[in-house]
Copies of this chain bind each other. A is one copy, B any other.
Amino acid sequence: MNLAQSVLSGDRLALARLLTLVENNTPEGRDALDELFPHAGKAHLVGVTGSPGSGKSSLVNQIALHYRKADSPKRVAIVAVDPTSPFTGGAVLGDRVRMRDLSGDAGVFIRSMATRGSLGGLAQATAGVVQVFDAAGFDVVLVETVGAGQAEVDIARLAHTTLVVEAPGMGDEIQAIKAGILEIADILVINKADHPGVDNTERALKSMLDLAHPVEKVFRHHGQAMTVSAPIGAQDLALWIPPIVRTVATEGTGVAGLVESINAHAEHLRRSGDWSKRERARLETELDLMLTETLINQFRAQVPDSRYDEIVNRLTERTLSPWEAVKSLMNGSGL
């Protein structure tokens, strides 16, 4: 039995080993991914992003716990991605905190990933890890990213459902950031909802949502997922209005409602046909990342190091512009 087959048979040690191979982008990992690919495509991929300090990790914990405690428990994988940390320190600490609640539960698997090399590399490695969990039969894969930058947005694009987590009292600059992040939110969560300023935060999020989704303004409710028909000219199309859900993750408050919203969104995606649209977009992105990497590697293999160094020398002397350098390298390569 090879590694991919062991993973499909439910072997946790094989799973852990394969995740490492995939993270390191080894040929063996790539082969296993190829073999697992036909078995993936069933899991509900949930991205969780938002401001630092919003308590995302605790919330992800609680969501996992909730899925595990249900009448028909789901198998849950957690992928914690930290694009800013080349160290494992933060991630390991996070894992230890999680352990208290989730350790010893064979229906849960937690994996931390830190940055290695390029951003494209991290997004690609995350896509691979998610695919392994999917093929291994996990029903829900929670992908948590620290921070709220473009890296997080790119990684969130892997997901079917994206949660953006906010906390009260984070100041105006945060609010400005959220304008961009809101574009990708399927569900907005105000965690630490027992803190002062929660009404202000909700008001701010709502007015920004109104800017981003003006048509849907009148339909918005709190803490509740809503699917409504578009008002004019598109009566047959179901619209998803991002609900705003309040939680206190440390006490588990509001988590049941949040999981309901997550499930309602999955149902909405399936009914509207958006599930397969997102799946297609996701696979296309993955293909493009891989294609780009392959092209650049192949190209660089054809250019002798001495020639490349000479070109860079001329750049630093400013006797050749970057664009002229590209043209010169492309001509020389015979492409």
Contacts and interface: CB of A to CB of B under 8 A. Distances in A.
B34 A150 contact: no
A299 to B, nearest CB: 6
28 contacts: A38-B321, A52-B52, A52-B174, A56-B173, A57-B173, A82-B176, A82-B177, A82-B180, A85-B179, A86-B180, A90-B180, A119-B154, A146-B173, A147-B147, A147-B148, A147-B149, A149-B149, A150-B150, A276-B316, A280-B312, A280-B315, A283-B315, A286-B322, A290-B322, A290-B323, A291-B296, A291-B326, A335-B335
A33 interface: yes
Contact of A319 (B38, B298, B312): B38
Contacts of A291: 296, 299, 326, 329
A176 B145 CA distance: 13
A233 interface: no
A150 B150 CA distance: 8
B180 A84 contact: yes
Number of copies of this protein chain within its complex: 2
Interface of A: 30, 33-34, 37-38, 40-41, 51-57, 82-87, 89-90, 93-94, 114-115, 119, 122, 146-154, 170-171, 173-174, 176-177, 179-181, 183, 211, 276, 279-280, 283-284, 286-288, 290-292, 294-296, 298-299, 311-312, 315-316, 318-319, 321-326, 329-330, 335
Nearest to A303: B291
